[in-house]
Amino acid sequence: MKFVDEFRDEALAKGLAAAIAREANPARRYSIMEFCGGHTHAIFRYGVQDLMPENVGFVHGPGCPVCVLPIGRIDNALELAEEHGVILCSYGDMLRVPASKRRSLLKAKAEGADVRMVYSVDDALRIARDNPGREVLFFAIGFETTTPPTAVALRIARAEGLKNFSVFCNHVLTPAALNHLLTAAAVDVDAFIGPSHVSSVIGSRPYEYFTETFRRPVVIAGFEPLDVMQAALMAIRQLNAGHAEVENQYIRVVTREGNLKARAIVDEVFERRESFEWRGLGAVPDSALTIREAYAAFDAEKRFSIVTRSAPDAKSCECAEILRGAKKPVDCKLFGKGCTPDSPVGSCMVSSEGACAAYWTYGRFRREAA
């Protein structure tokens, strides 16, 4: 397994760090946003930030689908589970995110609602087949990696004529969030590290628009710490040369066109929503998907006449600023006090890819190791 060593090799990491130190111009700052929670995780776990010179900093972006779903949509899910008596299925982390009044789907479950954690949307289909007398609802969340499986499940449900299955669609689009960060939120970021698995599905092409429009480099990177460091070096080189291009550090998996089969299935089942609210970003145009008319029979929003109301985040919670890259978790008064992974107040403390959870887990780890 020699590659494993190569990708975590200390000498290589030092070499990359030295190259970055050499090439980073001391007269300027480099602010690099990693969009994807997987990168946030790698940066903290391996202390990548500590290997960077003073003037190169990572900013954590909104790249965790559990973190960015606004409270109003979770309130909707709670209402469906509690008042409509459905069997509500979703991915594990989603069940733990606090909604209004610090309620969560897990709490609703403890109080008797039929809420079930599933590993795959196929598990929800199976539950629907096994319970023909009950309404089974899949609370669908996620970026472009999780969307294609939901699309396949909707095709299966239609082909089988499942009468008691529906999807509450909350799938969101990565490029739209980047676009919004650069326009409305106007974040102070010089370059982006692009997500790897998302890009493996949509390809690197969608990022070309940003580099052309906003003149910020995007370097798509794998999840290894050395991948992230190499991507940072590539971004710094582009910035120094005044370039703004999409570069692909992760050619071993990502192509320009992505997974064409997956993209075609997604297109058949979903279309763009005019606007969708993101935690931290507010309403973002064209940033999410909704179920097409051909599959309307399986659309929970239609079946249960769901109307989303905006609901405020918990008092003092800074998730919104953190997701915009405007603040760091330690800037939040509740961090590590009222809010920990065991008892989260905001969404960023729930999933292991959330910035607050990463700070908490590895910040402490680093202090102890020091």
Among 288, 339, 353, 362, the residue binding ligand SF4 under the rule CB under 6 A is 339
Tokens 């200390």 -> residue: 10
DSSP reduced 3-state for 63: coil
The nearer residue to another protein, 164 or 255, going by C-beta atoms, is 255
| CA–CA distance, 190 with 242 (Å, rounded to integer) | 11
Could you tell which of ligand SF4, another protein, none binds residue 63, using a CB distance below 5 to 8 A set by kind? another protein
Could you tell which of another protein, ligand SF4, none binds residue 98, using a CB distance below 5 to 8 A set by kind? none
Site string for ligand SF4, 295-334 (x = CB under 6 A): ----------------------xxx--x------x--x-x
User: Is 42 among the residues that bind ligand SF4 (CB under 6 A)?
Assistant: no
The nearer residue to another protein, 8 or 28, going by C-beta atoms, is 8
| CA–CA distance, 109 with 95 (Å, rounded to integer) | 9
Site string for ligand SF4, 341-360 (x = CB under 6 A): ---xxx-xx------x----
User: Is 172 among the residues that bind ligand SF4 (CB under 6 A)?
Assistant: no
The nearer residue to another protein, 42 or 320, going by C-beta atoms, is 42
Within its chain, how far is the Cα of 19 from the centroid?
30
Within its chain, how far is the Cα of 105 from the centroid?
20
Instruction: Give the single-character DSSP code of 362.
Output: I
Whether 359 and 335 have beta carbons less than 8 Å apart is answered as yes
Binding to another protein in span 59-98, by CB under 8 A: 63-66, 91-93
Q: How far is the CB of 326 from ligand SF4 (least distance, A)?
A: 11
The nearer residue to ligand SF4, 310 or 316, going by C-beta atoms, is 316
Alpha-carbon torsion 260, 263, 264, 265, what sign? positive
Alpha helices in the chain (DSSP H): 2-8, 10-23, 37-45, 65-68, 71-83, 92-96, 105-110, 121-130, 147-160, 174-182, 197-202, 208-214, 225-241, 260-269, 300-303, 319-323, 355-358, 364-369
The nearer residue to another protein, 198 or 236, going by C-beta atoms, is 198
Q: How far is the CB of 361 from another protein (least distance, A)?
A: 8
User: Is 233 among the residues that bind ligand SF4 (CB under 6 A)?
Assistant: no
User: Is 233 among the residues that bind another protein (CB under 8 A)?
Assistant: no
Q: How far is the CB of 106 from ligand SF4 (least distance, A)?
A: 16
Among 53, 57, 72, 149, the residue binding another protein under the rule CB under 8 A is 149
Q: How far is the CB of 116 from another protein (least distance, A)?
A: 13
Taken as a whole, the chain contains a residue count of 370
Could you tell which of another protein, ligand SF4, none binds residue 3, using a CB distance below 5 to 8 A set by kind? another protein
Binding to another protein in span 303-362, by CB under 8 A: 351-353
| CA–CA distance, 23 with 56 (Å, rounded to integer) | 11
* Half-sphere exposure at residue 347, Cβ-oriented, CA atoms within 13 angstroms: 29
